[in-house]
Amino acid sequence: MSVVKEFRDFAMRGNVVDLAVGVVIGGAFGKIVSSLVSDVIMPPIGLALGGVNFTDIKLTLKDAVVDAAGAVTTPAVTLNIGTFGQTILDFTIIAFAIFMIVKGMNKMKKKEEEAPAAPPAPSNEEVLLTQIRDLLKK
């Protein structure tokens, strides 16, 4: 079997295609959540806290070096704490959404796997008719 045919068979298996679709949708979902957090959720929170822009919250480890002409020769070294906080919020929202999806899928799978209820016991009339049938066969 040629390498190309083996690769095609591998790539066209349902699991690989499903995984690829999941990765693409997950990437798009991540971008949507990032935009939701940075553009919709964080500005009102910053406004409520006195006009704070969370992306501007930084801890400067080393100041920028500026030459005599005013040009920055070495940029500042900073810890971007506000951006990190937004990323944590992004992750929390995505993790919760995935948790809810998996929980729903498990609930649906559990309903499918439940064994059907045992058929009801035959009535007395059915039992008598079965006995008569068996006696007539003898």
Q: What is the pLDDT of residues 40-80, one digit of tens each?
A: 988 898 889 888 888 888 999 999 898 888 888 899 999 99
Copy the structure tokens of residue 33.
């959540």
Nearest residue to 26 (alpha-carbon basis) of 94, 120, 113 = 94
Taking the domain 3-114, which CATH number applies?
Answer: 1.10.1200.120
Domain boundaries, the chain: 3-114
By the 10 Å C-beta count (0-12 exposed, 13-18 middle, 19+ buried), 37 is classed as buried
Distance of CA 76 to the CA centre of its chain: 36
Q: What is the pLDDT of residue 1?
A: 63
Question: How many residues does this entry show for the chain?
Answer: 138
* Helix, strand, coil share (%) of the chain residues, nearest 5: 70, 10, 25
Q: Could you read off the pLDDT of 75-107 as tens digits, one per residue? A: 999 999 988 988 898 889 888 888 898 898 888
State pTM to two decimals: 0.59
- What is the per-residue pLDDT for 5? 86
